[in-house]
Amino acid sequence: MPGTVEGLRERKKRAMRQQLSDTAARMFVEHGFDAVRVADVGEACGVSEKTVFNYFPSKEALLLDRLEATADALRTHLSNPALPPVTAMLTVLDRELHSLVASLTANADQDRALAQYQKFGDLIRNTPSLRAYRSDTADRFIDVAAETLATRTGLQPDDPEPQIAAATLIGLWRVQFRALRTHLRPGHPLPGAINAVTQEIRRAARLAEEGLTKFPKPGETTLRHN
């Protein structure tokens, strides 16, 4: 039963990856990013430092590994020719927001969960290497979005249309990140906070949509200047 064995192996790898990431987040928030070594995270999970790096390319990735799922979602939804670019991006953001809400509501003590979320955000904001990693990741998201949009229109990724469209769409991702930092706080009812975040995203999306109304549709030719 090779398929069953392979499935079990993959499940174990995913479980270990999740354990490492969750443990690292807890230790970093409690003690500070610079005060905790990768070897300390590995020891807490019963594995070596080398094993940790087999799962994550860097210490920063241990904390921000979930951003990889965003790149995959961008490729999936932006490649759908039935979805205008802004609609596709809102789909990505809505799913991320739904996942976060599910995680927060799973905790019986929502104020405690919100406090932990706030500390997580503070950790990123106050740690230069994490801010740089997040910024580099956003730049990579722009590259992913530009490549995907170029493929569906027949343009090149470095053409101005996919470049400006990608930068605009990833700008919505940045707006959501900042809105979450602003509204998700202990003592603030979660439904109202999420509604405020959603309203800010929709306001930004309306502006982005107006700017991208002339973005080429699949199969539509565009005059290009050399």
Same domain for 207 and 182: yes
Estimate the share of the chain in helix, then strand, then coil, as percent rounded to the nearest 5: 75, 0, 25
In a domain, 36, yes or no: yes
In a domain, 221, yes or no: no
**What is the structure's pLDDT at 219?**
64
**What is the structure's pLDDT at 223?**
46
Model confidence, pTM? 0.85
**What is the structure's pLDDT at 5?**
52
In a domain, 216, yes or no: no
**What is the structure's pLDDT at 213?**
83
> By residue range, what is the domain housing residue 28?
2-58
Q: How far is Cα 97 from Cα 22, in angstroms, rounded to an integer?
A: 19
**What is the structure's pLDDT at 17?**
93
In a domain, 223, yes or no: no
Same domain for 99 and 11: no
Same domain for 52 and 105: no
**Domain count of the fold of the chain:** 2
Same domain for 110 and 179: yes
- Give the end of a domain, one of 10, 25, 58: 58
Same domain for 190 and 134: yes
The position carrying tokens 């979602």 is: 73
Residue 74 tokens, joined: 């961008």
CATH code where residue 146 lies:
1.10.357.10
Q: 57: part of which helix (H) or strand (E)?
A: none
pLDDT along the chain (226 residues), means of 10: 63 92 94 96 96 95 86 95 94 95 90 92 94 94 96 92 96 95 92 96 95 77 48
Same domain for 108 and 165: yes
**What is the structure's pLDDT at 220?**
63
Same domain for 141 and 54: no
